[in-house]
Amino acid sequence: MSETRSGSTQDSPAPKSPSGLLPTLGLFSTVMLVVGGVIGSGIFRKSGVMMTEVGTPGLLLTVWLLAGVITLFGALTNAEISGMIPETGGQYVFFERMYGPFVAFLYGWAAFIVIQTGSIAALAFVFAEYATKFVALPELFGQAASAWSFHLPLIGDIAPLKDSGVKALAIAVVVLLTFVNYAGVRFGGVVQNLCTIAKLAGMGALLAGAFLPSTGGTAANFSTASAGSGKTGLALAAAIAAALQGAFWAYDGWVKVSYIGGEVKNPQWVIPRATALGMFIVTAIYLAMNLAYCWVLPADVMASSKLVAADAAEAVFAGGGKWIAALVMISTFGTNNAVILASARIYYSMAKHGVAPAKLGTAHPRYHTPGASLSAQCIWAVVLILSGTFDMLTDMLVFVAWIFYAAGAFGVFVLRRKMPDAPRPYRVPGYPLVPAIFIVFATVFLGLTIYNDLTTYQKAIAAGQPAVINSAFGLLLIAAGTPIYLLYRKRS
């Protein structure tokens, strides 16, 4: 890892602003934000779906490793820019320096409309779903109201009052965590540290128990394929791309630490190291968890499992299903805290640059947090929770996010050309190969995702079922930000 480090960068006191945001997070809290912000619900449920696609434990582990390596390449590339431009707003500010205000606005718009708020809504809903393992959440408005729905073109039927008890708890979680982060970034950081430590301890217990002789696990599981194996050629490539989409959802969140550059102590030194260290930890944990799943469960059992971690836990502990449900609740709660904490800084920065309502760019005079941005983010996340379109949201946000991940990695080449003499406390190792590999892979992944969406759409139409091309709808959502940007530019 190539780097330059000066005492003045690390040891100088953090600047403070009585009316702005305060740098209060150190290296440990920042690493916990990376780890806690990435490990959510994906590792507990995506492996079963991925096994359905790839068919063999060996290929499943390869996909998880490949996704981890590629994500690490992206994180290391992003770390160079984070160290170079340690400002609140992260990717939004980076895109403005790389490509200008229009591309930066489209990123911020996409983050608000689907990428970040969609993550908040989906994570809160998963938390509430698993809460039903412990307490019944009844319909709040009766059967007739729950069945009421309306149709939106390109999206489908929306039933805002369906599963009202689950949605009410999900909304309560979003409001609670918004208040926690409204009350101060240090408070939010403490909550993040506690949740991350708890989830890592729970995952460690599952890993330790999985390899006990009493579980009945066997190495033979690693050489036994499921019924869905045997794909070749383009079909195999498409299956790997579909499996990678699940893995990338589990790995998503690695850029969020860059959003809070203005609230990290010595950000030029801390953020790159926290990003790299956090992603090494996450990749190692994900590989270990999948080794445990494959050791305990045959491939066909994994492929038919909706919650593979719970099935594995049942083989390890008495009442393992509820134990995993509690772990998933802790995990999604902590991840959502990280997303809420970090993402509001994007809209705060956009308002500071005059391309969002000015109110969003104000910091609370007492708590020094972007209270208005946190509130706006909370309101839109609640709307998405009521929509109930979580499967479409998660598929779409991964596709949209990876468009900007690829553009962000290419930005390293842009900035090295535009700003060759700018201080770089951290330089991406293996330049230019590491960012180039990430860009090529991201481009291929996006192409295969479009191919999968078109194939799925054609099958649905042939069967007479309603269907949406998620990738196309994601591109339309991004494009919808253009007239809003032009309106703000005209005003300014």
pLDDT at residue 228 in the model: 67
Mind giving me the DSSP string for 96-136? HHHH-HHHHHHHHHHIIIIIHHHHHHHHHHHHHHHHTTTS-
Q: Which residues pair with 426 in a beta bridge?
A: 3
pLDDT at residue 456 in the model: 82
Q: Is residue 126 part of a domain?
A: yes
At 129-143, the pLDDT tens digits run 889 888 888 877 777
Of 236-250, 281-295, 413-427, the poorest mean pLDDT is in 236-250
How many structural domains comprise the chain?
A: 1
pLDDT at residue 389 in the model: 67
Between 175 and 466, the higher pLDDT residue: 175
pLDDT at residue 390 in the model: 67
Contacts of range 93-98, beta carbons closer than 8 Å, 24 or more positions apart: 93/349, 94/258, 94/408, 94/411, 95/404, 95/407, 95/408, 95/411, 96/353, 97/411, 97/415, 97/418, 97/419, 98/407, 98/408, 98/411, 98/414, 98/415, 98/418
At 98-132, the pLDDT tens digits run 999 999 999 999 999 988 998 899 899 889 988 98
Torsion sign across C-alpha atoms 179, 326, 28, 264: negative
Cβ–Cβ under 8 Å, residues 392 and 155: yes
pLDDT at 453 over 80: yes
Q: Is residue 34 part of a domain?
A: yes
Cβ–Cβ under 8 Å, residues 197 and 205: no
Residues of the chain above pLDDT 90, percent: 28
Of 96-100, 113-117, 348-352, 469-473, the poorest mean pLDDT is in 469-473
Q: Is residue 226 part of a domain?
A: yes
Average pLDDT (185-192) is: 77
pLDDT at residue 3 in the model: 38
pLDDT band for 363, please (50, 70, 90 cuts): confident
pLDDT at 148 over 70: yes
Single pTM value for the model: 0.82
pLDDT at residue 154 in the model: 62
Q: What is the CATH number of the domain that holds 159?
A: 1.20.1740.10
The Cα–Cα gap between 324 and 41 comes to 11
Average pLDDT (236-256) is: 84
pLDDT at 208 over 50: yes
pLDDT at residue 7 in the model: 38
Average pLDDT (20-39) is: 81
Tell me, what DSSP letter sits at residue 3? B
Burial label, 474 (beta-carbon count in 10 A; 0-12, 13-18, 19+): buried
18 by DSSP, 3-state: which? Answer: coil
**Residue 349 CB contacts under 8 Å (≥ 6 apart), including other chains:** 87, 88, 89, 90, 92, 93, 108, 361
Average pLDDT (367-376) is: 90
Phi then psi for residue 158, to 5 deg, are: -115, 125
pLDDT band for 21, please (50, 70, 90 cuts): low
pLDDT at residue 198 in the model: 87
pLDDT at residue 382 in the model: 94
Provide the 10 A C-beta neighbour count for residue 462. Answer: 9
pLDDT at residue 160 in the model: 77
Between 298 and 466, the higher pLDDT residue: 298
Q: How far apart, in Å, are the Cα atoms of 71 and each of 67, 265, 276, 282, 414?
A: 6, 25, 10, 10, 20
The Cα–Cα gap between 164 and 147 comes to 11
pLDDT at residue 437 in the model: 95
Q: Is residue 133 part of a domain?
A: yes
Q: Is residue 3 part of a domain?
A: no
pLDDT at residue 156 in the model: 64
Q: Is residue 309 part of a domain?
A: yes
Cβ–Cβ under 8 Å, residues 106 and 384: no
Average pLDDT (63-83) is: 90
Q: Is residue 456 part of a domain?
A: yes
At 1-12, the pLDDT tens digits run 333 333 333 444
pLDDT at residue 8 in the model: 38
Average pLDDT (64-73) is: 92
At 304-345, the pLDDT tens digits run 887 788 888 888 887 777 888 888 899 899 889 888 988 998
The Cα–Cα gap between 460 and 99 comes to 39
Cβ–Cβ under 8 Å, residues 316 and 70: no
pLDDT at residue 294 in the model: 92
pLDDT at 484 over 90: yes
Q: Is residue 327 part of a domain?
A: yes
Q: Which residues pair with 156 in a beta bridge?
A: 152
For residue 52, what are the domain limits? 20-491
Question: What is the pLDDT of the chain when averaged over all its residues?
Answer: 84
pLDDT at residue 169 in the model: 95
305 by DSSP, 3-state: which? Answer: coil
